[in-house]
Amino acid sequence: MDRETRHAQLAETYLPDDLLERFRQRAAVYDRENRFFDDDLAELRERGYLRLFVPPSHGGPGLSLNEVSRLQRRLATAAPATALAVNMHLMCTGVVAAMVARGDRSLEYVFDEVNAGEIFAFGVSEPGNDWVLQGSNTVAVPQDDGGYLLSGVKIFTSLSPVWTRLIVHGLDSTGEPQLVYGFIERDAAGITVSDRWDVLGMRASQSRATILTDVRMRPDRVARRIAPGRVPDLLTFAITSLFQLLIGSVYSGIAERALELGAAALTTRRSAKADARYAEVPEFRARLADALMDYMAVPAQLDLYTREFDELVDHGAGWPLRLVSARLNASTAARRACETALMCASGAGFDNTHELSRLFRDATAGLFHPPSADAARPMYAAALLDDD
């Protein structure tokens, strides 16, 4: 079966058109009422969406990153916040699949837990930690049994109402500093979820801050101990890859939908002066054409890099350049596409009840995922200008 036929079949199996339409209708309600996407999650779970990366050896469909990226793009055309949040669970399971594919089976128990209904989330972002994965302000105190007690603040924990397993990192400074990675469980003592969440976009993701006070990480849930700083490691490579490419997929989906809505607006609106539909007015055609040209590089990058990742292509130090560029381009394209589409829709799109108004707000969240363009620029400059 050729690849496009397979993608179409997966779309029909996991995200058929009628489901997407329901999700789109609900997205407006979740956004307005600032509440979590409970009904979407129930439907996704029922269809097996939370098990996409679980391999056949563990009874799952074992989708590739390329296939999941396509599905996430499709989901985001209807419900960006649902897609962004469910990404965090998919990312955790995809990281384990990527590690297994590269010969490290140490986290395979994650598949069993997903099969048992556990929901994984991603608790890495911390206030003032621009080292992101390579440092942590969370304190990890080693225990006699090999586990840790963690204290710190994780910000923007998507899926906050429902997650049951959270991948976190913290710094153990009791000897030679070590970053500790592993999973904590929702019913562990010392976890508080912030009651503050009133944000511009992606509201249904309910990405509230999580405060950890002496939270136990069991010894068998410690995944890695790594020196802080730029230390190559399979776990952090897999997290970076899955994070950048799946987040990029969400913003690609937003851009795609915005362009669709922009085109639809031009075909329905009429210009009195031109005595024609706006779809025939050259300035508007050019504006939409430029946005489409910008956008088309985005799925191309995502498709290529997800396939290369699945095929274990070794780009070495060239991987971060590819991964970050794919995600930054996707989020820039999403914001531009939304702005263009709003201009096509004119004042109607400015109304808070218009889908484009919500997409525009959701797309702004793309400004905040790490690394920002400013943080990433030195890496690109060094690739061209430095010898080592």
Applying CB under 6 A, which residues contact ligand FAD?
84, 88, 121-125, 127-128, 153, 155-158, 194, 202, 205, 207, 209, 365, 368-370
Q: How far is CA 72 from its chain centroid?
A: 9
Query: Measured from the CB of residue 267, what is the shortest distance to ligand FAD in angstroms?
Result: 32
316-325's contacts with Cβ under 8 Å and 24+ in sequence apart are 318/383, 319/237, 319/241, 320/240, 320/379, 321/379, 321/380, 321/383, 323/240, 323/241, 323/244, 323/245, 324/244, 324/371, 324/376, 324/379, 325/301, 325/376, 325/380
Q: Of 109 and 131, which has the nearer Cβ to ligand FAD? A: 131
Q: Of 140 and 345, which has the nearer Cβ to ligand FAD? A: 140
Q: Of 86 and 288, which has the nearer Cβ to ligand FAD? A: 86
Amino acid at 216: R
Query: Measured from the CB of residue 131, what is the shortest distance to ligand FAD in angstroms?
Result: 11
Query: Measured from the CB of residue 250, what is the shortest distance to ligand FAD in angstroms?
Result: 10
Q: Of 91 and 302, which has the nearer Cβ to ligand FAD? A: 91
Q: Of 87 and 279, which has the nearer Cβ to ligand FAD? A: 87
Instruction: Evaluate the CA torsion angle 361, 241, 139, 376 in order and state its sign.
Output: negative
Query: Measured from the CB of residue 7, what is the shortest distance to ligand FAD in angstroms?
Result: 26
How crowded is residue 189: how many other Cβ atoms within 10 Å of its Cβ? 8
Query: Measured from the CB of residue 365, what is the shortest distance to ligand FAD in angstroms?
Result: 4
Q: In this structure, what token pair is assigned to residue 173?
A: 């400074």
Rounded to 5 degrees, what angle do the CA atoms 139, 141, 143 make?
160
Query: Measured from the CB of residue 188, what is the shortest distance to ligand FAD in angstroms?
Result: 18
Q: Of 211 and 292, which has the nearer Cβ to ligand FAD? A: 211
Region for residue 62 given its phi and psi (left: phi exceeds 0; alpha: psi -120 to 50; beta: otherwise) = left
**DSSP conformational letter for 154:** E
CB 341 within 8 A of CB 261: yes
Q: Of 50 and 279, which has the nearer Cβ to ligand FAD? A: 50
Helices (H), the chain: 3-14, 17-33, 38-46, 65-78, 80-101, 109-115, 234-268, 282-310, 318-345, 355-364, 373-385
Query: Measured from the CB of residue 205, what is the shortest distance to ligand FAD in angstroms?
Result: 5
Query: Measured from the CB of residue 244, what is the shortest distance to ligand FAD in angstroms?
Result: 11
Q: Which has the closest alpha carbon to 249: 129, 74, 371, 108?
A: 74
Q: Of 85 and 279, which has the nearer Cβ to ligand FAD? A: 85
Region for residue 104 given its phi and psi (left: phi exceeds 0; alpha: psi -120 to 50; beta: otherwise) = beta
